[in-house]
A and B are shown apart, each in its own frame.
Chain A
Amino acid sequence: MFDTVIHDVYYLSFAMILVLVLGGGIIAVTSKSLIYCFFGLVSSLLGVAGLYYNLGSPLVAVMQIMIYIGAVCVAIAFGISLTRKTEDEGVKPPDIKAAIPVVLVTAMLGSTLKGLEGRHIVASAHKADESLIGWMLLKEYLLPFEIISILLTVAVIGAVTIALINRRIG
């Protein structure tokens, strides 16, 4: 009896993760106040981390929380507090351009499902040995790893240079 109850708890928590992801996303794009958008984004990111954990990778889930919520959301919070102007927050009323996401994503989804027909699922979500990620980053994926380091350095230097206040002396 306890066995079915524990599975129900698992499915219930998975449903809550889905609500976090999609609910947070919808709040993030349709709310008038920018602060609500920000917290919708945070909850969506937390939900996506939960989905990564369900796909069998605790490492990517924790990295998602650390990098996105720890760095990107903090930077966005700084950006919001530095550029706050309550007149131009808010969302434009939907007009004919709202058809673009719908049509585009339906086309993408249709072609994906068509391409998935007939392919059989090789593996299910299991926890692979994640210490291999460290090895692969230094052996086979060394070039993308180094390029991403250079990219991050250049991006940070560029962002600081753009936003720098030049104090003139004299």
Chain B
Amino acid sequence: MNISLLGIVGYLVGIAALVGLNAVILVWLERKVAGHMQFRLGPMEVGPHGILQTLADGIKLVSKQLVIPDEADKPLFLLAPIVSLVPIFAAMVPLPFSETVQAWELNIGLLLIIALGLLNTLGILLAGWGSNNKYALLGGARAVAQILAYKIPLLICVMTIIMMTGSFSLRDIAIAQKDTWNVLYQPILFIVYIITVTLETNRSPFDFSEAESELVAGFHTEYSGMGFSLFFLAEYSYMFIAAGLATVLFLGGWHGPWLPGVAWTLIKIYSIIFLMMWFRWTFPRVRIDQMLSFGWKILLPLSLINFIITAGVLAL
């Protein structure tokens, strides 16, 4: 075990910085993208083109009073944002940013990230059960129902890529795409993966658990200030991790012409996040039964047929 204490502390500080910086950039990006897609300008006041808007928002959120409702279950209520946020530190470990920049090379890195992505939804369920609020309860239950729809197509998608590469380790998958990216071999799978990952991170058009027009504010109705910001940190960081997986699995990881590997990885990750934000302002929210039937009647047969065809082609 040749890790040093300096390595562990450096990793934790680096990931905390990355999570915070990512949230700052993404909040600004989301509001700008939302603004421009709706033919308006978005935040322009604070700083040039509103760059410092997130800082102002952050200061506001941190200085708000933490209101805990009287009848809410205090341990569950306070534990929920932490349960959502902590697995991010573990899920960022196997993610390769370039050939040499990776926290720790795990043999089963891919499965670990998928397994830990589930704990976000458990945090949402905890919040829903903990606040003594029927809107929060509905939001939490809906988030758990979403797991049913996306779990199997996601696993089959990932299994197809593993079959093509022959290894679970993210570094090997990225190295194997030196000549051609996997998206050229499997375009349909890429689309299925993006849809599944939108389902997993509770983004529009599948954001029932925080549906603003139906459920007041869903699972985070009773959270104010710091709790709310922790949930949003967690959501943006899971988007980052999911987009990171998409880059490594489909878009060739860090390979690219002139820029260093880390720059290419970040460019690809933020393009996929931009795509997910684009979805948010293009599609209306679907109903739960529509989502379930979409997941089971369209995504699952599509990914299964893809899997079988890939297995057939690889065997020949």
Contact = CB atoms under 8 A, between A and B. Distances in A.
Interface string B116-131: 1011001001100100
Range for the number of chain B residues in contact with chain A: 20 to 34
A58 B106 contact: yes
Nearest to A70: B118
Interface string B82-116: 00000000000000000000000011100110111
Q: Is the interface of B mostly helix, strand, loop or mixed?
A: helix
Given A58-B107, A58-B108, A70-B151, A2 B115 contact: no
B141 interface: yes
B76 interface: yes
Contacts of B111: 59, 62-63, 66
A9 interface: yes
Nearest to B4: A2
A69 B118 contact: yes
B3 A81 contact: no
Contacts of A130: 107
A78 B105 CA distance: 36
B214 interface: no
B198 to A, nearest CB: 19
A107 B14 CA distance: 51
B112 A62 contact: yes
B8 A62 contact: no
Given A35-B73, A42-B122, A58-B107, A65 B5 contact: no
A35 B126 CA distance: 9
A6 B1 contact: yes
Contacts of A2: 4-6
A152 interface: no
A39 interface: yes
Given A6-B3, A6-B4, A35 B115 contact: no
A15 interface: no
A57 to B, nearest CB: 10
A164 interface: no
Contact of B125 (A9, A71, A77): A77
Contacts of B73: 33, 35
Contacts of B106: 58
B93 to A, nearest CB: 12
Nearest to B79: A39
A74 interface: yes
Range for the number of chain A residues in contact with chain B: 20 to 34
A80 to B, nearest CB: 9
Nearest to B147: A74
B272 to A, nearest CB: 24
A6 B5 contact: yes
A132 interface: no
Given A35-B76, A59-B108, A130-B107, A9 B8 contact: yes
A62 B125 contact: no
A5 interface: yes
B217 interface: no
Contacts of A81: 141
B5 A9 contact: yes
A70 B119 CA distance: 9
B156 interface: no
Nearest to A59: B108
Contacts of B107: 58-59, 130
Given A66-B115, A70-B151, 10 more contacts: A6-B3, A9-B5, A10-B1, A58-B106, A65-B115, A66-B114, A66-B118, A69-B115, A74-B148, A81-B141
27 contacts: A2-B5, A5-B5, A6-B4, A33-B73, A42-B122, A58-B106, A58-B108, A59-B107, A62-B108, A62-B111, A62-B112, A63-B111, A65-B116, A65-B118, A66-B114, A69-B118, A69-B119, A70-B115, A70-B118, A70-B147, A70-B151, A71-B151, A74-B148, A77-B125, A77-B144, A78-B144, A81-B141
Interface of B: 1, 3-6, 8, 73, 76, 106-108, 111-112, 114-116, 118-119, 122, 125-126, 129, 141, 144, 147-148, 151
